[in-house]
Chains A and B, each alone.
Chain A
């Protein structure tokens, strides 16, 4: 596996098209669309201002570029480069912009979360949704694109509205028993909505599609609560990561916890494989070479190769002590992701920032721990197979699969 040549990018805006054929990247105020296989530039669009957010439509025919400072959204068509569309929010301002699942409506969140304007690309109609909630994850579309769940706040109470995406009709509107709703997420089967509260209170509520409360789950009181939530692709499990460093798995039949995964700093079970990233030191080899290339010594720092070694149990991982008197401490499970085949769950404990834990969901046990040399920034699963890609901010990508792991 090799890296391609480096392309300029601004604001980390680089997205693959949903059909996998194109790659859109933003450079300042330009939008560059490349072909995935050849990486040749197919289209080049120029926007009016620096792009803050770019998003593909679901059918890969349109790309929206949002410029929050100017309050503008420009939409480009891939098939007709001369087609243009510009949405100006004017004095209302723009805070967030996203596509609807049918690829023909754009939802703009105005400043101060005053309202969400639904602009239609096919008709002249405009819809307004008042008082959306300003929270971490306030909008969630179902996977089949039929329904939109929106978190709202009225009269100091949290509400959830469910809209039908085809005609933007309000289907259900109900209030939730949360103090301060932090996020909502649909289950992949589109029938259950998970709602979780702010981190000051551990509460996970599960609502059915028609607005009935199915279950409420609270693991403990008083300590900081839910940090991250993830559904399994089969909608069987809901993984809740909290600030106490544990992931609790709820099952879809009873909505009760079936197991909890702890993330201790020492791994003692000999059945768990611990991969430690280690640097391959090239300096040792230099002395033996007849003509040691002088550049190698200079470039050693940037081009060190690293490989994975299997560390023998018991292994103690690097921990990070959080600052006690600051908000949003670096503890707890910050990242959760299920593999697409529902077999594995990858987690990151923020107090052990260099490690990624991979859990076997079939056996509900810890499977593998990967420890990197630097803190893990993000990881993502391959959409089709159980392969995990990890990046730590260095110049390497780390790939793990049940067969083994490699650093590229």
Chain B
């Protein structure tokens, strides 16, 4: 508590009074003085408290000190320490309340001042440190400034030197150029001089030539002639034509035609080239658009500006494409549109590729971009799967190859040879049987043919004999016609004879074209019957064979062979009854039918026989 007391030196108090009088506004200064005093004397305060206390106020000067204090306080604005005087002369009494209040006020003031002092001190410290810092900065900056100034001077020096060099070089260059120009001028002047001289000489030469020419022409040398045995025709065979204005015009025309043809040809070439290049460009554009269009969805997420341009470009280009395909001319506008659109597409493609490159590089740098990692993982998985598959396939192929090799070379030579033949043995036997059968049948057919031909011959002979008989008989009849009156019966007989003969004729007619067959059709019924009976054992087999062949053509040859030897016997009997073809009890018509039928079957058999190997 002692610290808080303001102890003033009497020496100082007068000073403070004075100061107060003159510096009433600056309240801080006296208080600062006071505070300083306090600061200075705060430590030794405790020691000298009592001395100080006793210094100002002693028991003798209480009244003076009170009045002094009252004066001071009132000047400071505090209420008076004395009580309100009731009278003038009465001694003023000390107002203890006032005194206490004043003391309190003073204490409060003191506290405030101390706080203020602290703040000020801290601020002072701060400012001091700031100052230090600023001074340091200033010092550094000054240093930097110095160094940069020095550098600048150095650079300026260098720049100056370089500029000097530059100027020198320029100067040299200029000198060289001047020299070159001079030399060129010299050359030019010399050239003109030479030209002039040349021209002069040439003129002289021309004069000489003219003179010589005149001399040569004038001489009219008889020697200057052409001696030809006979004139040769023109190369193209035509006659020479006179030189007229028409020919001149014609020549001009031809010349222009040639030129025009050449130009047209070149233009065609260039147009073709143009068209091809345009096609290529169009294709490129389409491909670029198709490349870029699947990227439409991705950029949408990122909401770039390029999406808008891509879509709009695609739409535009679609429209352009249709337009261009319609036009397909080499107009300026079309060309420009095409090139512009291609440039646009190319720019977009380029930017896209650049983006992709950036992405790739980012992936490399960052390494943990979720989407990309997943895709890479997927990719790796896929590749692993594919590799496994490839492995499996390869193994399978190997095993299959091994199996194949085993199959091919597993057996010994004997077994292989046996095996090779085993499939064919049966067939060989079959073939042999068939061959033997075939040969038999062939023989039989040959026999039949022979017999038939013999029969035919005999028939022919008999027929002749019969004809003769008939003729003679007819003659007799004719002779006897007048005696007999049986025309009808004759006619009938004639008819029957004729019909029979006609039948036979028809039969012969039928048979003639079929004589090629090994089994010709026999004519005479009796003869036929005899022949048929003879050939029965053979023919049914053949016919049955044909039957079975025709109806069982799809059966395997083995089965046919097996069947036919068995079936011949029953069919011999059954065939006669079953097939109406073989009914003997029939007239010529049915016989005809049967013959034709059997000939048909025979033809069939013949045809089918041809199929046998």
Measured CB to CB, the residues of A under 8 A from B are 58-59, 62, 77, 82-92, 102-104, 110, 112, 114-115, 119, 121-126, 130-131, 146-147, 153, 156, 164, 167, 169, 171, 179-180, 189-191, 208-210, 222, 252-253
Contacts and interface: CB of A to CB of B under 8 A. Distances in A.
B184 interface: yes
The interface centre, meaning the residue of B219, B223, B224, B266 with most chain A CB atoms within 10 A of its CB, is B224
B256 A210 contact: yes
B234 A104 contact: yes
Contact of A102 (B229, B236, B241): B236
B612 interface: no
A86 B225 CA distance: 8
Contacts of B50: none
B41 to A, nearest CB: 100
Q: Interface on chain B toward A: helix, strand, loop, or mixed SS?
A: helix
B259 interface: yes
B259 A210 contact: yes
A156 B200 CA distance: 9
B589 interface: no
B137 interface: no
A91 B258 contact: no
A85 B229 contact: yes
Nearest first, the 8 A-B pairs at minimum CB distance are A90-B223, A90-B224, A90-B221, A191-B262, A85-B228, A102-B235, A164-B251, A87-B226
Interface stretch (B208-216, B348-356, B521-529): B208-216
B195 interface: yes
A232 to B, nearest CB: 14
Interface of B: 184, 187, 195, 198-199, 202-203, 209, 212-213, 216, 219, 221, 223-236, 240-241, 243, 247-248, 251-252, 254-256, 258-259, 262, 266, 270
28 contacts: A58-B235, A62-B232, A77-B232, A83-B232, A84-B229, A87-B225, A88-B227, A90-B221, A91-B221, A102-B234, A102-B235, A104-B235, A114-B209, A114-B212, A114-B213, A122-B240, A126-B226, A146-B254, A167-B251, A169-B247, A169-B248, A171-B251, A179-B195, A209-B258, A209-B259, A222-B184, A252-B266, A253-B266
B228 A121 contact: yes
The interface centre, meaning the residue of B223, B224, B225, B226 with most chain A CB atoms within 10 A of its CB, is B226
Contacts of A147: 255
A59 B235 contact: yes
B262 A92 contact: no
A130 B254 CA distance: 25
Q: Interface on chain A toward B: helix, strand, loop, or mixed SS?
A: loop
A90 B252 CA distance: 36
B232 A104 contact: yes
B252 A171 contact: yes
A131 B226 contact: no
A208 B209 CA distance: 31
B224 A156 contact: no
Contact of A91 (B195, B223, B240, B266): B223
A187 to B, nearest CB: 9
A91 B219 contact: yes
Contacts of A123: 231, 240
Nearest to A163: B251
Nearest to B191: A200
Contacts of A169: 243, 247-248, 251
A12 B98 CA distance: 154
The interface centre, meaning the residue of B202, B203, B232 with most chain A CB atoms within 10 A of its CB, is B232
B258 A146 contact: yes
A88 B225 contact: yes
A114 B213 CA distance: 7
Given A167-B243, A191-B259, A121 B232 contact: yes
Contacts of B255: 147, 164, 171, 209-210
A88 B199 CA distance: 34
Contacts of A103: 235
A229 B446 CA distance: 94
A87 B225 CA distance: 6
Contacts of A171: 251-252, 255
Contacts of B251: 164, 167, 169, 171
Contact of B227 (A82, A86, A180, A190): A86
B228 A114 contact: no
Contacts of A59: 235
Contacts of B231: 121-124
Contacts of A77: 232
Nearest to A100: B235
Contacts of B256: 210
Nearest to A80: B229
Given A104-B235, A146-B254, A164-B254, 13 more contacts: A85-B229, A86-B228, A87-B225, A88-B225, A92-B224, A102-B235, A112-B209, A114-B209, A131-B209, A156-B202, A164-B251, A167-B247, A222-B187
B226 A91 contact: no
Contacts of A209: 255, 258-259
Contacts of A164: 251, 254-255
